[in-house]
Amino acid sequence: MEFMTDPMGIETRSMEIIAPYLKNLNLNEEAIKVYSRMIHAAGDVEYSSVIRIHPQAIEMAKNALKKGCNIYTDVEMVRTGINKKKLASFGGMVECLIASPEVAKTAKTEGITRSMAAMRQFGEKLDGAIVAIGNAPTALYEVLHLMETTSIRPAVIIGIPVGFVGAAESKEQLMKRSLVPYITVAGTKGGSPIAVSVVNAIMYILDNKR
């Protein structure tokens, strides 16, 4: 059995396969790159119909990265997947508090999820930063709550929790209530690899323009 072994060749061919699913969506060049990376990460061309990108989201994320913003995540899988070397080249770092003993204590005391407690602990650090959520709907709800009750305004929210309990609803609320630009996926699809793909795609777009 013959199969491709060249990494660049595999990636190029993957993008060629994805391209026809995007041609009728009226996307600009940068949106095409983000869509393509998301679809590639999922291995699912059906994503082309459920990805939702706020008109200002990519530009806001690029501007924040150029200023050296940090990225705050809900789970270690997102933190691990983000290209930290490239992020550091812009002056930023990525942080996740899900394993923090203090967060665990707060979650238990207040009867909330650790993801919610982590977002509360980040607090004002989220202002001007990129929030990347790939797993927990409750984390997304907490960020929306923080924006509505404080002056905290992330530069952009990449909110792509996955699953059958609360995920679709949290993303719907993101699109309805967010006070800042967002990138999300309607419905139950999503997950950490998809959130990671968005962050890395935007960094690559920016890196290629330096």
Q: Residue 185: which of 11, 79, 39 has the closest Cα?
A: 39
Q: Cα–Cα distance between 126 and 151 in angstroms, integer?
A: 10
The two three-digit tokens of residue 47, written as one number: 């994503």
Is 145 among the residues known to form the active site? no
Greatest CA separation for the chain: 59
Amino acid, res. 196 = V
Catalytic residue among 33, 40, 62, 120: 40
Q: Please state, in angstroms and rounded to a whole number, the distance separating the CA atoms of residues 99 and 120.
A: 14
Residues 6+ apart with CB under 8 A from 196: 41, 77, 78, 81, 82, 132, 134
The phi and psi torsions of 95 (rounded to 5 degrees) equal -135, 140
Residue with the two structure tokens 């960094």: 203
With the C-alpha atoms ordered 121, 160, 157, 36, is the resulting torsion angle positive or negative?
positive
Which residues are identified as catalytic? 40
